[in-house]
Amino acid sequence: MSRHFTQDHEWIEVADGVGTVGITDYAQGQLGDITFVELPELGSTVSKGGSVSVVDSVKAASDVYTPVSGEVVAVNDALSDAPETVNSDAEAGGWLFKVKLSDPGDLDALMDEAAYAAYVAGL
């Protein structure tokens, strides 16, 4: 499995053509305490770079953009009752949705972990 990152602080980990998407630990730290997560609709088609979810925190509401195009095949319903999971486990249990990639080439424009770490260090 490989993990990729966007400049908007989303991560995606792909296995067997399905990507698990969430926000990075850096992003949750900037947002503060997460109070609500609006998830995309199961079965919806999403386009790379499009806003598909919203994360509300005590500081602000923030759009989450999909790093790839495809079909939403799963959402993390547990976040409805426990949105704070995004704070405590942003890059694992706090995942937001899973998308079946329509074009694996979408991943080529994303950063790897080292590039993302360098990007964040420069912010």
Domain ranges of the chain: 2-121
- pLDDT in the model for residue 56: 97
pLDDT surpassing 80 at residue 1: no
57/75 Cα distance (integer angstroms): 19
Question: pLDDT tens digits for 45-56?
Answer: 999 999 999 999
Tell me which fold the domain 2-121 belongs to: OB fold (Dihydrolipoamide Acetyltransferase, E2P) (2.40.50)
Question: pLDDT tens digits for 70-117?
Answer: 999 999 999 999 999 999 999 999 999 999 999 999 999 999 999 999
pLDDT confidence bin for 2, thresholds 50/70/90: confident
Q: Is the pTM of this model over 0.75?
A: yes
Contacts of 55 (CB under 8 A, 6+ apart): 23, 31, 34, 36, 37, 38, 61, 62, 64, 83, 86, 96
